[in-house]
Amino acid sequence: MAEEKYKEFEEWLMQVDTPPSEATTLERWLDYLAEEHHIVKGAQEIAKEVFSERFELWEELGIKEIKITRMREGEPFTEYRYGIAGNPGLWGRESMLLYAEAMAEEEGLLEMAERIRAIRREEYGGE
């Protein structure tokens, strides 16, 4: 993904509230980011990379991102969990990445599996 100096921006883009209707295509999401958050020019190049992971990659594997907001010590706290089709409960990100990588490999989606592996290594390290 993006260079180290853009990591915080990339992480923010992964979590920015986006109505589902505004993420149906890359172009629509970029327009939404420009209008609502003034994300333009070079920043949209990073947003293009984030769009692929956030809105396209998981769909093929039956994975849905679920935003959970609750109070923690009197302050709102937001976290993301993942629902995986055919599997009970909600999964944390690292567990979801491991499962998604294995699922992609089983289905012969080797490029996707490698992409997920790269995301997992970047975020959590290790093999």
Give the residue with greater pLDDT, 17 vs 26: 26
d(CA 110, CA 2): 22
pTM: 0.70
> What's the structural domain count of the chain?
2
Helices 42-51 and 26-37 sit at what angle, rounded to 10 degrees? 130
> What are the DSSP E strand ranges found in the chain?
63-72, 75-84, 90-91
Residue-range definition of the domain harbouring residue 73: 59-124
Whether residue 64 sits in one domain with residue 34: no
Is 80's pLDDT higher than 70? yes
Same domain? For 48 and 65 the reply is no
- CA 89 centroid distance within chain: 19
Count the neighbouring beta carbons within 10 Å of the beta carbon of residue 10: 17
Residues 46 and 78 in one domain: no
pLDDT of residue 3: 63
**In the predicted structure, residue 92 carries a pLDDT above the cut 60:** yes
Same domain, 25 and 76: no
Q: Kindly state whether residues 42 and 64 are assigned to the same domain.
A: no
Q: Indicate if 42 and 72 belong to the same structural domain.
A: no
Q: How do strand 90-91 and strand 75-84 relate by DSSP bridges?
A: antiparallel
Answer yes or no: is pLDDT of 1 > 60. no
